[in-house]
């Protein structure tokens, strides 16, 4: 590809990096006499006409975003079977590279960077564009220390249905919201969850839910409590750790309503860490009621605090719901695992009369029955069976609720070679399709 000329003006000079969907090149624009970055869609995606059509319209929508902290998209084009995006070339490294090389940032610097990232998200969300892959790898840092959010060219518009997610993308699943790994409806607050994970990593130099296995990381995103940034680095102000925790709440209703509210709290904590109170859901510990940030409460202490009056009833509902739901989830998962083990042992001893270890070679896995089951439950089975590779896709289905498996290939009982050529494919329902209702009041009928 080096030396190829695209659109009669862009000469590819060198490869800058590769991703799951595209390869990025440095190129020179002969018309404007400037260097640019060009993202060329990988060959395996070029035959999907529907995906390319949506990709083209969504990239053009993202090109309308003009913001100092967003990598600008200049052009979208095709050259034969090549599909590409022309973008601003950022002279610097990714935020991930800086964290890996230098470790945790001073908290005031991390706040400055996140304010600018949140400002970029605020601009995109105002245009109904959701990024859905916010992570330090997609944030480029200029030589002057300015963050620029990249990959808005493959973001999704608010009404897009192109939400296929490969669970084997370990780099993305570390930052994905619980609803995203479950295949549910994602929106601007899903971006804020990912921003919270990114801020946690900037502050601590670590991921909140580490792991090399994408399935185990996805399960931790759904089930595990949000870790405290100030527990990892005591110098971090408690209020800043509260902000991180609020971004990363499992329930959308407990997160910031929009990026502007996140920016306001970040600016307040920057001026005076003790000047703000961050509303967090209330949970029960053995010694009594405590706020999620660690503030001790008496049993009846639901008196309103500043910016908290409207939260009281919702906090009670969240508190009561979590007392019931989380123990049930754990009991259900344990029961499923026990039932599977008992059934397998019974089958082996009754029908085969051979030790369990001889049923399947070490390099093979048996596909379970996944259709009609919740994807979170299925992910546990897949991890236990060590099935690899596998892929999860999502599609709308008006008759099946979100998160339930619709189809699987190959069928239950099939044997797969671990890390072989055959991929287990699972299709999960996204529930009924939804669209964003536009603002039509006080507009002309023709518009």
Q: Which of 131, 137, 160, 195 is nearest to 20 (CA)?
A: 137
Q: Considering Cα of 297, then 300, then 305, then 307, what sign does the dihedral take? A: positive
CB 4 within 8 A of CB 80: no
Q: Could you say which of 75, 112, 133, 191 is catalytic?
A: 133
Pairing of strands 147-149, 5-6: unpaired
133 is catalytic: yes
Q: How far apart are CA 109 and CA 112, in angstroms?
A: 5
Tell me how crowded residue 91 is: count the other CB atoms within 10 A of its CB: 9
Q: How many CA atoms lie within 13 A of 358 on its CB side?
A: 6
Q: Phi, psi (5° rounding) for residue 296?
A: -70, 140
Catalytic residue annotation = 133
């Amino acid at each position: 590809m080096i030396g190829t000329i695209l659109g009669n003006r862009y000469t590819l000079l060198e490869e800058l990096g590769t991703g799951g969907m595209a390869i990025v090149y440095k190129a020179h624009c002969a018309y404007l006499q400037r260097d640019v970055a060009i993202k060329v869609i990988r060959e395996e995606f070029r035959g999907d006409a529907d995906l390319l059509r949506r990709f083209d319209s969504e990239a053009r929508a993202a090109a309308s975003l003009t913001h100092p902290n967003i990598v600008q998209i200049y052009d979208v084009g095709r050259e034969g079977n090549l599909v590409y995006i022309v973008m601003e070339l950022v002279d610097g490294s990714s935020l991930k590279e800086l964290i890996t090389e230098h470790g945790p940032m001073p908290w005031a610097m991390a706040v400055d960077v996140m304010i600018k990232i949140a400002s970029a998200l605020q601009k995109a969300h105002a245009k109904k564009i959701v990024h859905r892959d916010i992570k330090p790898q997609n944030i480029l840092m200029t030589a002057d220390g300015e963050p620029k959010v990249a990959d808005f060219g493959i973001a999704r518009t608010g009404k897009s249905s192109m939400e296929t997610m490969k669970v084997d993308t370990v780099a993305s699943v570390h930052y994905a919201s619980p609803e995203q790994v479950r295949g549910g409806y994602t929106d601007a607050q899903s971006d804020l969850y990912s921003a919270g994970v990114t801020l946690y990593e900037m502050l601590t130099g670590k991921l909140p839910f580490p792991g090399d296995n994408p399935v185990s990381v996805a399960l931790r995103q759904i089930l595990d409590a949000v870790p405290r940034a100030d527990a990892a680095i005591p110098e971090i102000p408690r209020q800043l750790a509260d902000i991180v925790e609020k971004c990363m709440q499992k329930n959308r209703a407990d997160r910031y309503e929009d990026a502007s509210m996140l920016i306001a709290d970040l600016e307040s904590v920057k001026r005076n860490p003790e000047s703000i109170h961050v509303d967090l859901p209330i949970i029960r510990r053995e010694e009594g009621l405590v706020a999620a940030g660690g503030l001790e409460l008496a049993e009846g202490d639901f008196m309103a605090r500043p910016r908290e009056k409207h939260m009281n009833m919702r906090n009670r509902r969240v508190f009561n719901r979590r007392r019931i739901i989380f123990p049930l989830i754990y009991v259900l998962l344990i029961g499923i695992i026990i039932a599977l083990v008992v059934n397998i042992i019974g089958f082996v001893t009754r029908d085969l009369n051979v030790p369990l270890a001889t049923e399947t070679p070490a390099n093979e896995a048996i596909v379970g029955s996944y259709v009609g089951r919740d994807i979170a439950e299925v992910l546990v089975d897949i991890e236990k069976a060590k099935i690899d590779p596998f892929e999860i896709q999502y599609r709308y289905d008006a008759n099946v609720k979100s998160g339930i498996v619709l189809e699987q290939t190959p069928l239950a009982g099939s044997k797969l070679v671990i890390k072989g050529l055959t991929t287990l494919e699972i299709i999960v329902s996204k529930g009924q399709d939804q669209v964003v209702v536009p603002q039509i009041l006080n507009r002309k009928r023709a518009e």
